[in-house]
Each structure stands twice: as C-alpha cells, then as structure tokens.
Amino acid sequence: MADIKRVSPGEAKRLIEEEGYLYLDVRSEPEYAAGHPSGAHNVPLLHAGAGGMKPNPDFLDVVCSLYPKDAKIIVGCRSGQRSMRAAEAMVSAGYTAVIDQRAGFEGPRDAFGALTERGWGPAGLPVETATPGASYAELRQKAGR
C-alpha cells in the first residue's frame, strides 16, 4: 500500500484554503453534528449504534459516487485512527490525492487520557455545526443511496 501523507490540523487548513482540498469527516453522524471543521463533508466510516460502532457498508460506494478519483481530499475523524483506515480504503479504491489529518477533530490521547496533539477544534480552527448539503443524509441522497 502506498504511504499516505499525514498532516497537522493547521497544515490541513492551509491545504483547504490554498490548494482546494476538501475535508472529508469520517466520524459518525452525531459526532459530525456536534461540531466539525467548517465546510467539511460527512461520510461516516462507522455508524454509532446501541451496540457500539459498526462499519458503514456504504462508505466506499458513497465516496466513489460523489468524488472523482483525483479529487484532493483530506480525511479526518476524532483522533486520527478512523481517518487513516478510511484513507487506506480510498487509496485502495484508486484515489490518488488523499491526505490524512493525523490529529482528527479532538486530538489523540495517551494511555492516561492526556492530549498528545491538539486536534482541529482544540487548535482553534474554524468549526461549525451545520454545513448545508454536506451531512451524511444529504450526501447519501445525492449519491443515490
């Protein structure tokens, strides 16, 4: 598998503003609705349910229906784990310009719960709770799913 570039939240913001990257938030719908990077689209890698997180069987179908394989996409999640899995899946599906935002929205924590890197929100970058046309329900409908 090709190495996937990983960037800080600040670098992700610069790539979005200066190079036209799209931020794809792969957190669950409730996580996204609670706050996400401004302008981010939401296609969850996992769905939150009563029994915990379960894989979204439509993840790649929706992504492939909405974004061309050469689209510039930064993938982010809560702390950088789901986004890396999503980025790997996208690269395996033929995406050529995928970057992982390594700290996610909140930032990764060590075994004691201490933040090891500030995520998008704690870094003070622009956050919103609604992005017209970018929720998973809207994107899934646009993709015909």
Q: Could you give the residue numbers annotated as active site?
A: 77
d(CA 2, CA 125): 29
CA atoms 23, 25, 26, 29: torsion sign: negative
Could you identify the residue written with the tokens 């789901």? 82
SS3 sequence, 26-87?
CCCHHHHHHCEECCCEECCCEEEECCEEEECCCHHHHHHHHCCCCCCEEEECCCCHHHHHHH
